[in-house]
């Protein structure tokens, strides 16, 4: 079963049932969701005035909006990364410095993927890694 986000109607149902004193297990059964999903929903979205569906929806949208976005390496960033790899910097060092300099925030694994793609295309960036045979 693939995961789907709770919809506003389900959040409304949770609010109503919690006010009635219905257990999380019963709510989960009625919504055909796992009890852990319902528990997590309630824990994440309960404010000082209890669980409120509109507030829960706002919290969920805010978390989604603030979620890290997939980073696409531009040619400019690839150029910077390539120069630093050729200067024998590790992907971890490069990622840290790019973030520190305010250029871009990316995961070191993104840089490793770039090096792997370069290797598959016949490039030699991988030779500058400290553990050449790992990529």
pLDDT digits (tens, 9 = 90+) for 15-58: 999 999 999 999 999 999 999 999 999 999 998 999 999 999 99
Report pLDDT digits (tens) over 4-20.
889 999 999 999 999 99
- Tokens (6 digits) for 23: 């257990």
Alpha carbons within 13 angstroms on the beta-carbon side of residue 58 total: 7
For residue 38, what pLDDT is reported? 96
Phi, psi of 50 (to 5 degrees): 90, -170
What are the residue boundaries of the structural domains of the chain, listed by start? 8-65, 75-134
Query: Which residue intervals of the chain are DSSP H helices?
Result: 8-20, 24-31, 35-45, 53-65, 75-86, 91-100, 108-120
- Is residue 98 scored above 90 in pLDDT? yes
Q: How far is the C-alpha of 94 from the C-alpha of 131, rounded, in Å?
A: 16
DSSP H/E element including 50: strand 50-51
For residue 1, what pLDDT is reported? 43
Q: How far is the C-alpha of 132 from the C-alpha of 130, rounded, in Å?
A: 6
For residue 134, what pLDDT is reported? 54
Q: How far apart are the first and last CA of the chain?
A: 34
- For the question of whether the overall pTM of this predicted structure is more than 0.75, the answer is no
């Amino acid at each position: 079963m693939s995961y789907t986000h709770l919809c506003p109607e389900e959040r409304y149902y949770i609010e109503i049932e919690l006010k009635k004193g219905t257990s999380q297990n019963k709510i989960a059964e009625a919504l055909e969701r796992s009890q852990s999903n319902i528990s997590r929903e309630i824990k994440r979205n309960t404010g000082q005035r209890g669980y409120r569906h509109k507030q829960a929806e706002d919290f969920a949208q805010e978390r989604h909006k603030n979620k890290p976005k997939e980073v696409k390496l531009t040619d400019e960033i690839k150029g910077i990364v390539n120069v630093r790899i050729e200067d024998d910097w590790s992907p971890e060092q490069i990622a840290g410095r790019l973030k520190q300099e305010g250029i871009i925030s990316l995961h070191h694994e993104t840089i490793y993927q770039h090096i792997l793609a370069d290797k598959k295309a016949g490039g030699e960036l991988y030779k500058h890694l400290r553990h050449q045979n790992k990529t």
